[in-house]
Chains A and B, each alone.
Chain A
Amino acid sequence: MMNRLCIVLVLSLCLTCTGTLFAKPRTEVKTPELTVRLIERTPEQIAAFYEARGFSKQMVQVLKAQCFLGVLIKNTSPHVIWLDLAGWTFTDQTGAVPRLDRTYWRDKWQALQIPMAHQSTFRWTLLPEKLDFRPDEREGGNILLPRRGHPLRIEAVFMLDDGTQQKPVKIRFDDIRCPR
């Protein structure tokens, strides 16, 4: 009896710990036009991925310090849907959170004299800034934000182009956290 209680207690503690570390790791929003999945990456996942690609410790340390959100987008409509990250907003209780875009990273890596191959691989792991998603097309990549420790709200807008007019498709993610 005591053993069983112990097992349940340990299991509950583990689940609680897991819940804290990997809280709500995947969030999905579906509209009639598209599906957007958000995956909150842990620093350990980030480090493991880039270390396996041969990235330097310096580069990995910089990346681990950021908030990594994996984004997977699928166009489920029969029309073209435009992604333009410039129109997305990221906010927390302190206000707007500036996205760390490709220009930021190019300057950062150049200042750190990171090899071109690693810069290239890093760029390919980012979500495209702009893309015309064709019917049934699926693409993904990471969005990077400074890690601030507060829950995030993400408001994304896509433009559906049915050939005659453009219609905005808005989605929102609330309570997004950057796991530590």
Chain B
Amino acid sequence: MKRLLFPLLLSLGLICSAAASPTPPEGILQLTPYAAPALTLSDIDGAPFSLPARPGQWVFVHFWASWCGPCRKEMPAIQRMVKILASEGLLVALINTAENEDTVFSFLAAHAPDIRALMDRDGLVTEQWQPRGLPATYLVGPDGRVYYQALGGRPWDEPTYLDFLRGLLKQTH
């Protein structure tokens, strides 16, 4: 009887877990989870950051460059999203691809003054993540695996996206 009960409970658990996954909004691809590539960088002030930052938390990993039009358009929405969700437990890693401090500082001062960027000075970390293009966003689960990828820039501060991210924060993998 115990032998029968165990698979049954396991199946139920899997069904419940799948049902709890929030539905991704437009432009968010649900991936077959894979281990996040290495990410060890310093921010614009020299403070180090690496993944997994804090095990057990979702991380919003975003690659951008100031010369990229869609990145410029998207950044203010990211800043608004960060303001809303940072206190709810979302970790954010905004990685500038291959630009210098002056460029990044000027850009963020104009477009997202509250955001501190991580500096991928030679662009090699970005390439390890193999984005489809810039901007690129990945959502890394509490277990250090990549679960979602965004296609291009997204309106992250809109309710459907905020609700989706909140749904992830409530979920543990």
Contacts from A to B (Cβ < 8 Å): 49, 52-54, 115-121, 123-124, 128, 131, 134, 136-141
Task: Assess whether B122 is in contact with A117, with CB atoms less than 8 Å apart.
Answer: yes
> In the bound complex, how far is the Cα of B133 from the Cα of A137, in angstroms?
11
A residues near B97, Cβ cutoff 8 Å = 120-121, 124
Q: A128-B133, A141-B133 are in contact. Are A121 and B99 (CB under 8 A)?
A: yes
Task: Assess whether A52 is in contact with B67, with CB atoms less than 8 Å apart.
Answer: yes
Q: A116-B124, A117-B123 are in contact. Are A49 and B67 (CB under 8 A)?
A: yes
A residues near B99, Cβ cutoff 8 Å = 53, 117, 121
Task: Assess whether B121 is in contact with A139, with CB atoms less than 8 Å apart.
Answer: no
Task: Assess whether B122 is in contact with A124, with CB atoms less than 8 Å apart.
Answer: no
Task: Assess whether B123 is in contact with A116, with CB atoms less than 8 Å apart.
Answer: yes
B residues near A119, Cβ cutoff 8 Å = 123
Q: In the complex, given contacts A115-B122, A121-B65, A124-B98, what are 9 additional A-B residue pairs having Cβ atoms less than 8 angstroms apart?
A: A116-B98, A116-B124, A117-B98, A123-B127, A131-B132, A136-B26, A138-B152, A139-B133, A140-B133
- Which one, B122, B126, B134, B152, contacts A137 given CB within 8 A? B152
> In the bound complex, how far is the Cα of B152 from the Cα of A54, in angstroms?
25
B residues near A134, Cβ cutoff 8 Å = 29, 151
Task: Assess whether B27 is in contact with A120, with CB atoms less than 8 Å apart.
Answer: no
B residues near A140, Cβ cutoff 8 Å = 133
> In the bound complex, how far is the Cα of B103 from the Cα of A52, in angstroms?
10
* CB nearest neighbor in B for A137: B151
What's the nearest-Cβ distance from chain A to residue B155, in Å? 14
What's the nearest-Cβ distance from chain A to residue B148, in Å? 13
A residues near B122, Cβ cutoff 8 Å = 115-117, 120
Within 8 A of A (CB), among B95-151: 97-100, 103, 121-124, 126-127, 132-134, 151
- Which one, A49, A116, A128, contacts B132 given CB within 8 A? A128
What's the nearest-Cβ distance from chain A to residue B121, in Å? 6
> In the bound complex, how far is the Cα of B133 from the Cα of A123, in angstroms?
10
> In the bound complex, how far is the Cα of B124 from the Cα of A128, in angstroms?
17
Residue of B67, B98, B121, B124 most packed against chain A (CB within 10 A): B98
> In the bound complex, how far is the Cα of B90 from the Cα of A50, in angstroms?
36
> In the bound complex, how far is the Cα of B65 from the Cα of A117, in angstroms?
12
> In the bound complex, how far is the Cα of B92 from the Cα of A4, in angstroms?
61
> In the bound complex, how far is the Cα of B67 from the Cα of A49, in angstroms?
9
- Which one, A120, A136, A138, A139, contacts B123 given CB within 8 A? A120
B residues near A128, Cβ cutoff 8 Å = 132-133
> In the bound complex, how far is the Cα of B121 from the Cα of A134, in angstroms?
30
Task: Assess whether A53 is in contact with B67, with CB atoms less than 8 Å apart.
Answer: yes
What's the nearest-Cβ distance from chain A to residue B66, in Å? 9
Task: Assess whether B126 is in contact with A139, with CB atoms less than 8 Å apart.
Answer: no
Task: Assess whether A121 is in contact with B123, with CB atoms less than 8 Å apart.
Answer: yes
B residues near A118, Cβ cutoff 8 Å = 98
- Which one, A120, A131, A137, A141, contacts B124 given CB within 8 A? A120
> In the bound complex, how far is the Cα of B92 from the Cα of A167, in angstroms?
40
> In the bound complex, how far is the Cα of B134 from the Cα of A140, in angstroms?
10
Ranked 4 nearest A-B pairs via Cβ: A120-B123, A116-B122, A120-B98, A117-B98
What's the nearest-Cβ distance from chain A to residue B92, in Å? 22
